[in-house]
């Protein structure tokens, strides 16, 4: 991995200007940021120090924290509602999924706090380890250690009935590796007498693409088509916002279109994968597969009306008419039991979370921080749109959970670490507004 340049020192330094992003603060000579505030004095009252520029309160994005915890709490209740009736009918512990999800949430919040407490620039040094561990886990899935669920060999069984899904952590590996490699670009020395970064060259983006391909390839082999699409979208979004020249971006889009066309025309994709991608266009033609899932999901959501049938009172949910309703189709539980209002609230919370991520990207002090935040924003945007869209017929049916809401330990852990990274970028911003 050292050949990929993870450990190089050509990236943007603290306080460097990011080209193409308006509203950034001026930098001093030599790329050093002029201090924008005086650290709160110890002899000032505690509340004043907490809320002063540079104080603890203004260092964290508390709205992002609140939205994250609210979504997690709502998701835990929805998982309980999605699983309790069927478990009770089967004579099993009706709260077993609830207990597991609460444990997932507690561990996830701990990971978020740890990630948020670190200086995000130190993640540069950790990137090779995160990337290498992700590749090893993805490779381990292909061995007898991997287990198959719903036709995808994407999990590794752990003691106590738990499982780990390495593809979820591949998202973090891709964001960190792409941000590290793309931000390692040469500096130029203009006549102004100070160093400023130039545009990222095709070379740095090429190295980032080479690092991303093994992650995408191993995830696609599982096959986990939905996660593969997330990786592609996040990588493309990071490259676009990095400032790469427009002609290179257009060329890459054309090349990607050719690859997709070749994959479909040469039947490189399996039949059920193609069916999943196209079923939302004509669900009545696939009533034995993905089309049935979509029709049941839309019916369940529509039956909720304005306010829903109430918690634990959903007929479709109680009878398990919609498959994977605690994971991929959790949004159907929202629609049936909490109605249009509940759906609007969940979507509004997710939208607000994404807006905060985008804002943090704009506030980042350097290109590395900006790309990390932008990659996470792209990840959440795509995953939210596809998960909600596939339940109402606007997007292909893929195995993607709803961030912070769907059941699953690996997904919650990866999402929480991502929020921790956002908090770290925000916390080490030099000017607190």
Q: Residue 352: exposed, middle, or buried by beta-carbon count in 10 A (0-12, 13-18, 19+)?
A: middle
The reply to whether 192 falls in a domain is no
What is the count of structural domains for the chain? 1
The reply to whether 133 falls in a domain is yes
Domain enclosing residue 277, as ranges: 61-184+200-427
Burial profile 117-154: b = 16 or more Cβ within 10 angstroms, e = fewer: ebebbebbeebbebbeebbebbeebeeeebeeeeebbb
| For residue 292, pLDDT beyond 60 | yes
Whole-number Å distance between alpha carbons of 218 and 169: 13
Residues 6+ apart with CB under 8 A from 352: 63, 67
pTM given for the model: 0.81
Q: E-assigned strands of 158-265?
A: 163-164, 187-188, 196-197
The reply to whether 382 falls in a domain is yes
The tokens for 140 are 């381990």
Give me the phi and psi of 152, to 5 degrees please: -115, 130
CB of 324 closer than 8 Å to CB of 398: no
Instruction: Give percent of the chain with pLDDT exceeding 70.
Output: 73
Q: In what order do the strands lie in the sheet with 152-157?
A: 146-149, 152-157, 163-164
Whole-number Å distance between alpha carbons of 382 and 207: 24
Whole-number Å distance between alpha carbons of 334 and 354: 20
Q: Which strand (E) or helix (H) includes residue 155?
A: strand 152-157
| For residue 78, pLDDT beyond 50 | yes
From the list 133, 84, 77, the residue with the least C-alpha distance to 105 is: 77
The reply to whether 46 falls in a domain is no
From the list 235, 227, 173, 98, the residue with the least C-alpha distance to 417 is: 173
The reply to whether 84 falls in a domain is yes
Q: In which band, very low, low, confident or very high, does the pLDDT at 112 lie, cut at 50, 70 and 90?
A: very high
The reply to whether 169 falls in a domain is yes
Whole-number Å distance between alpha carbons of 223 and 213: 15
The reply to whether 395 falls in a domain is yes
Mean pLDDT of 277-306: 75
CB of 110 closer than 8 Å to CB of 69: no
Residue linked to tokens 């940021």: 33
Residues 6+ apart with CB under 8 A from 45: none
| Least confidently predicted of 17-26, 144-153, 312-321 | 17-26
pLDDT score of 202: 74
User: Cβ of 344: how many Cβ atoms within 10 Å?
Assistant: 12
Q: In which band, very low, low, confident or very high, does the pLDDT at 33 lie, cut at 50, 70 and 90?
A: very low
pLDDT score of 142: 86
The reply to whether 303 falls in a domain is yes
Q: What separation in angstroms does the CA of 136 have from each of 130, 143, 365? A: 10, 11, 33
The tokens for 116 are 């948020």
């Amino acid at each position: 991995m050292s050949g990929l340049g993870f450990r190089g020192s050509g990236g943007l330094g603290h306080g460097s200007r990011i080209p193409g992003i308006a509203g950034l603060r001026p930098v001093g000579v030599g790329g050093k940021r002029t201090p924008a505030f005086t650290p709160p004095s110890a002899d000032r009252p505690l509340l004043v120090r907490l809320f002063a520029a540079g104080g603890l309160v203004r260092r964290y994005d508390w709205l992002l924290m609140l939205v994250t915890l609210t979504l997690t709490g709502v998701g835990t209740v929805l998982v309980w509602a999605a699983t309790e009736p069927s478990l009770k009918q089967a004579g099993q512990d009706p709260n077993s999924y609830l207990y597991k999800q609460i444990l997932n949430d507690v561990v996830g919040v701990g990971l978020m706090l740890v990630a948020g407490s670190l200086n995000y620039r130190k993640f540069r040094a950790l990137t090779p380890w995160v990337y290498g561990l992700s590749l090893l886990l993805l490779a381990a899935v292909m061995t007898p250690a991997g287990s198959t669920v719903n036709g995808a060999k994407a999990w590794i069984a752990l003691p106590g009935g738990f499982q780990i899904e390495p593809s979820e952590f591949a998202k973090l590996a891709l964001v960190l590796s792409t941000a590290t490699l793309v931000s390692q670009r040469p500096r130029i020395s203009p006549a102004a007498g100070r160093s400023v970064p130039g545009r990222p060259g095709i070379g740095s983006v090429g190295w980032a693409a080479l690092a991303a391909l093994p992650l995408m390839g191993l995830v696609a082999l599982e096959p986990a088509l939905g996660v593969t699409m997330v990786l592609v979208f996040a990588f493309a979004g990071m490259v676009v916002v990095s400032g790469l020249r427009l002609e290179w971006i257009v060329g890459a889009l054309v090349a990607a279109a050719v690859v997709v066309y070749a994959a479909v025309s040469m039947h490189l994709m399996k039949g059920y994968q193609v069916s999943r991608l196209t079923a939302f266009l004509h669900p009545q033609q696939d009533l034995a597969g993905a089309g049935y899932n979509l029709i049941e999901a839309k019916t369940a959501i529509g039956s909720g009306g304005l306010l829903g049938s109430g918690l634990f009172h959903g007929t479709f949910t109680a009878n398990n008419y919609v498959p994977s309703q605690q994971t991929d189709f959790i949004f159907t539980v929202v629609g049936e039991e909490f109605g249009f209002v509940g759906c609007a609230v969940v979507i509004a919370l997710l939208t607000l979370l994404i807006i905060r991520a985008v804002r943090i990207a704009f506030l980042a002090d350097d290109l590395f921080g900006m790309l990390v935040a932008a990659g996470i924003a792209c990840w959440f945007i795509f995953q939210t749109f596809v998960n909600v869209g596939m339940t109402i017929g606007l997007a292909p049916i893929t195995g993607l959970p709803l961030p912070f809401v769907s059941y699953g330990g690996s997904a919650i852990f990866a999402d929480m670490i991502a929020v921790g990274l956002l908090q770290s970028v925000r916390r080490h911003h030099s000017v607190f507004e």
